[in-house]
Amino acid sequence: MKTFLMISTVAIVGSLFGSAASAANPAVAAAPNGITLPEGYKDWRVTSVAHRTDNNTMRAIVGNDKAIEAARKGQTNPWPDGAILGKLVWKADTDPNWAPAIVPGKFVHAEFMLKDAKKHEATGGWGYARWLGEEQKPYGKDASFAQECVACHTPVKGNDYVFTRPAKLP
Amino acid sequence: MKTFLMISTVAIVGSLFGSAASAANPAVAAAPNGITLPEGYKDWRVTSVAHRTDNNTMRAIVGNDKAIEAARKGQTNPWPDGAILGKLVWKADTDPNWAPAIVPGKFVHAEFMLKDAKKHEATGGWGYARWLGEEQKPYGKDASFAQECVACHTPVKGNDYVFTRPAKLP
């Protein structure tokens, strides 16, 4: 009974205040730095695509509304607080019906950059997080994993740490 | 005055019934087969990406709501009437900050397949249209241009004439 009450209390507190993980997506654990999987990212609009030949992956670069609006207005250096960029990454595969076409194969991971100059000041104004595979396992053993992200993105510090250049559309 | 009246009449008839071109996007001319540029396609969700090494282009494959819902449910053989698939195509470029990454360069064209088994029976149940460049010039001299599309898509007739396989997401 004591166990039951404890579980009930946790459930009630959880539903009233929302835990870090449940607020965005209750089925997916938060990253070790506390960032939760952005809600609805699969419905975000696309701003670019990429084929990385060094690790054989195909990517769709998507953004939340704030990011897409900023991208279309060219207001990306710096990106506005609240902008989130997402990379959907698949292993590169060959189109079975068109041999010279490289297309998405197995899903690798979804990774995100969340802009908040103050909140994420320690990591260059961006919060980083990545979820691996179809099981969406958070990347990193502890919060220090983000230093790896920052190190890789530092060469594009002059572009507000972002590699992606929004693709041009009419 | 006669000219003025005629223009006014055309304008009124146009606004009441909608001309083929003005219904979707008044600034862009319709394709030679009467298909108009689908409204809001830049805001559609992405279902796959591709790198065609035979013509050096990068592609984002997007879909209207009907297409994305069908793709997520695996109901794509046949695709439902009303589904529209769009390909946003750019010349392949090298990322200036990550040499082994291939990214979008100059915009090439936007092309579409519109599913309506009855309306587009003569072209395999799909209506085809393409608009070239940032100036969005309709492709094709007359309605027969679509035969070129059908010929190219016929090898994937068993996949309802669609090359794109929706990319897997968790």
What confidence tens digit (pLDDT) does each residue in B43-61 have? 999 999 999 999 999 999 9
Q: In which residue are the tokens 């404890």 written?
A: A6
CB contact under 8 A, B170 and A59: no
Distance from CA of A60 to the nearest CA of B (A): 7
What is residue B21's three-state secondary structure? helix
pLDDT at A13 over 50: no
pTM of the predicted model, to two decimals? 0.86
User: In terms of pLDDT, which residue wins out, A19 or B146?
Assistant: B146
Per-residue pLDDT tens digits for A98-146:
999 999 999 999 999 999 999 999 999 999 999 999 999 999 999 999 9
Q: What span, in angstroms and rounded, lies between the C-alpha atoms of B37 and B44?
A: 13
What's the pLDDT at A56?
Answer: 98
CB contact under 8 A, A52 and B107: no
Contact residues, chain B, for A51 at CB < 8 Å:
51, 58, 101-103
Residue at B55: amino acid letter: N
Contact residues, chain A, for B101 at CB < 8 Å:
50-54, 163
CB A38 within 8 A of CB A45: no
Alpha helices in chain A (DSSP H): 2-17, 20-24, 65-73, 145-153
Cα–Cα separations (whole angstroms), residue B51 to A19, A96, B91, B110, B121: 41, 14, 10, 15, 30
Percentage of residues of chain B with pLDDT beyond 90: 84
Q: What span, in angstroms and rounded, lies between the C-alpha atoms of A83 and A65?
A: 8
Flag whether residue A31 sits within 8 Å of chain B, measured between CB atoms: no
Residue at B48: amino acid letter: S
Q: What is the mean pLDDT of chain B?
A: 89
Contact residues, chain B, for A53 at CB < 8 Å:
100-102
Selection from B13, B20, B92, B2 nearest residue B54 by Cα: B92
Per-residue pLDDT tens digits for B142-157:
999 999 999 999 999 9
Flag whether residue A156 sits within 8 Å of chain B, measured between CB atoms: yes
